[in-house]
């Protein structure tokens, strides 16, 4: 059985994520049916592009309910980029509800003079809980690659695992029990992303 399963609903950098896991010698697989998600040990929900497009694709492939059921099992679930935003309650980018697994909302960056949108490139994050398994080995000036026009604002401080500053602070990583999400792209973040994916895989 693969160490990490990746939800394949037609959207997301699944190939790049698998390549990074391969560099770690972590066995991975794409899962596109309910039984594959149910059998997963650890699950990644990727996402790129627009929030509603991702949520619509997840529903169209009938994988939204299996992802929610997986989350209830207590096994590790990681959302990446729009995949993290999909874990929240809703998004200003669209009208569809999110999966509601994190008490947070996805909102557009403010229109501030001199603030370029999207937020694109490398940026430093600050862990709110340096003892969390995802932060292992990443507490010394960790930098990750971001590409996004919408950011996640948490309802409670407990939901924010790491923050980043761009036109104000926003959640770079979120957490609730076994569910986590990262706004950045670990598959594009070189050694930092490699370490984070290794931490998630338990390798």
Catalytic residue numbers, as ranges? 81, 185, 187
The span from the CA of 37 to the CA of 48, in Å, is 20
Give the whole-angstrom CA distance, residue 52 versus residue 159: 23
Taking CB atoms within 8 Å and a gap of at least 24, the contacts of 130-136 are 132/161, 132/175, 133/199, 133/200, 134/161, 134/173, 134/180, 134/182, 134/196, 134/199, 134/200, 135/161, 135/162, 135/199, 136/195, 136/199
């Amino acid at each position: 059985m693969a160490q990490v399963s990746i939800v394949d609903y037609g959207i997301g950098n699944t190939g790049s994520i698998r390549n990074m896991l391969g560099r770690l010698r972590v066995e991975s697989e794409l899962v596109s049916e309910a039984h594959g998600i149910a059998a997963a040990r650890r699950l990644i929900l990727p996402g790129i592009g627009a929030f509603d497009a991702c949520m619509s694709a997840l529903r169209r492939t009938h994988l939204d309910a299996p992802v929610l059921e997986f989350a209830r099992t207590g096994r590790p679930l990681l959302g990446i980029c729009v995949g993290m935003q999909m874990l929240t309650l809703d998004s200003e980018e669209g009208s569809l509800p999110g999966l509601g697994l994190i008490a947070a909302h996805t909102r557009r960056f403010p229109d501030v003079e001199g603030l370029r949108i999207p937020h694109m490139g490398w940026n430093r994050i600050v862990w709110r809980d340096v003892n969390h398994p995802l932060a292992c080995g990443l507490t010394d000036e960790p930098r990750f690659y971001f590409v996004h026009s919408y950011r996640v604002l948490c309802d409670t401080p407990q939901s924010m695992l790491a923050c980043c500053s761009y036109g104000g602070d926003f959640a770079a990583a979120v957490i609730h029990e076994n569910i986590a999400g990262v706004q950045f792209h670990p598959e594009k973040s070189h050694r930092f992303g490699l370490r984070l994916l290794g931490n998630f895989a338990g390798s």
